[in-house]
Amino acid sequence: MQHFLAAETQQDPLIPTGPELVIGTILFVIVLFVLGRMLIPRITKTLSERTELIEGGLARSQEAQAEAKELLDQYRQQLAEARHEASRLREEAREQGAQIIAEMREQAQAEARRITESAQAQIAAERQQALTSLRAEVGTLATELASRIVGESLTDEARQSRMVDRFLDDLEVAGQ
């Protein structure tokens, strides 16, 4: 039986006794009060500061992202404008090149026509000069020949000129 009494007086170490329970509860309330009055406001303040810091960082990050997107859009727009301008300049250069080529071709053709006309005029002048010189020589030779054949002098200028013209006209008709 003693063994039974010893077992009864020996309580389970995990279950507190009445006075321990009262003291523990009072101490718990005191600790809770101290934590609630001193520690919790500090913790709350620190948490709210961190929250504001994080939210501010997120807001700045979003602002920076929006600004970066805006800059990217501006750069893309500037790039598109630059490409358009480059395309316009290339087209303008092509047109100017084609215009220059056309002007040079026209100048070359005009110069060729001028040279051809000048050469033709020079040839015509030289031909006329040669014909005049030839006509005079043929006239002189024909007059001398006719004087020898006829046996009389044909020095009369009017008669000599008519005879030379008739002779040359006959040659032209025969040559055609």
- Which three-class secondary structure state does DSSP give residue 133? helix
Q: How far apart are CA 134 and CA 119, in angstroms?
A: 21
- Which three-class secondary structure state does DSSP give residue 137? helix
Only one residue has tokens 């960082």, namely 57
pLDDT for position 153: 60
pLDDT in tens, 3-28: 544 445 677 888 888 888 899 999 99
pLDDT in tens, 31-63: 888 888 888 888 889 999 999 999 888 889 999
Buried b (16+ CB within 10 A) or exposed e, 111-128: eeeeeeeeeeeeeeeeee
pTM exceeding 0.75? no
Cβ–Cβ contacts within 10 Å for residue 102, how many? 10
pLDDT in tens, 105-136: 999 999 999 999 999 999 999 988 888 888 77
Tell me: pLDDT of 176 over 80. Answer: no
Higher pLDDT, 46 or 140: 46
Q: Which two tokens stand for residue 70?
A: 């805006």
